[in-house]
Structure 1
Amino acid sequence: MFECKDVAEEASNYLEGDLPLGKRIGLFFHIVICSCCRAYIQQIRQTIRTVGVVKPREQANVDTQALAEQLRALSKKDS
């Protein structure tokens, strides 16, 4: 029997159809009986749909050097 942690680990593979049949069926039955995992899979599906529709606009005049310096400064603060 599959557990919630299995669904979390294999969610993207499950949604992309990249699992062996036995594992796919096992996860499917767990999702059918577990409302939390069902909601989790639905949220991932919705996120994939949203990201596929909403595309960020890139700005051609982005100062990548300044951005890199800001990221370095932030990472030093977290250390």
Structure 2
Amino acid sequence: MLNCKKHIENSSDYLEGEMNAWQRFNFKMHTLICVRCKRYLKQLQQTIAMIGLAPKQQPPAELTQALEKEYAEAMKSSD
């Protein structure tokens, strides 16, 4: 059985379907008995859903160019 720390660490893997059957079973069992982890998982699902609703915006071209220039200069300085 998972402890709360491991449950939280593995929540993204669970939501992304990256667990084998045994891991999923253990994860679900812990979620059933632990109110705090159940709440955490629900909040994580809601956060992911809200992020998906955010409008997709491209940064202004000037900002992109300035960042690329600054990055290139920083890379030259680090050599």
Q: TM-score, normalised by structure 2?
A: 0.73
RMSD of equivalent CA atoms:
2.0
Task: Report the 3-state secondary structure (helix = DSSP H, G, I; strand = E; otherwise coil) of the residue aligned with 2:18.
Answer: coil
- Aligned counterpart, 2:29: 29
Specify every segment of 5 or more residues in structure 2 that has no aligned partner in the other structure, as ranges. Answer: 71-79
Moved over 6 A (4+): none
1:1-79 equivalences in 2 (<5 Å):
1-64=1-64, 65=66
Distance (Å, rounded) in 2 between the aligned partners of 1:49 and 1:40: 14
Distance (Å, rounded) in 1 between the aligned partners of 2:6 and 2:50: 25
Distance (Å, rounded) in 2 between the aligned partners of 1:17 and 1:4: 19
**How many residues are aligned here?**
69
Please report how far the alpha carbon of residue 63 of structure 1 lies from its aligned counterpart in structure 2 after TM superposition.
2.6
Task: Report the 3-state secondary structure (helix = DSSP H, G, I; strand = E; otherwise coil) of the residue aligned with 1:52.
Answer: helix
Distance (Å, rounded) in 2 between the aligned partners of 1:63 and 1:43: 33
Q: TM-score, normalised by structure 1?
A: 0.73
Task: Report the 3-state secondary structure (helix = DSSP H, G, I; strand = E; otherwise coil) of the residue aligned with 2:30.
Answer: helix
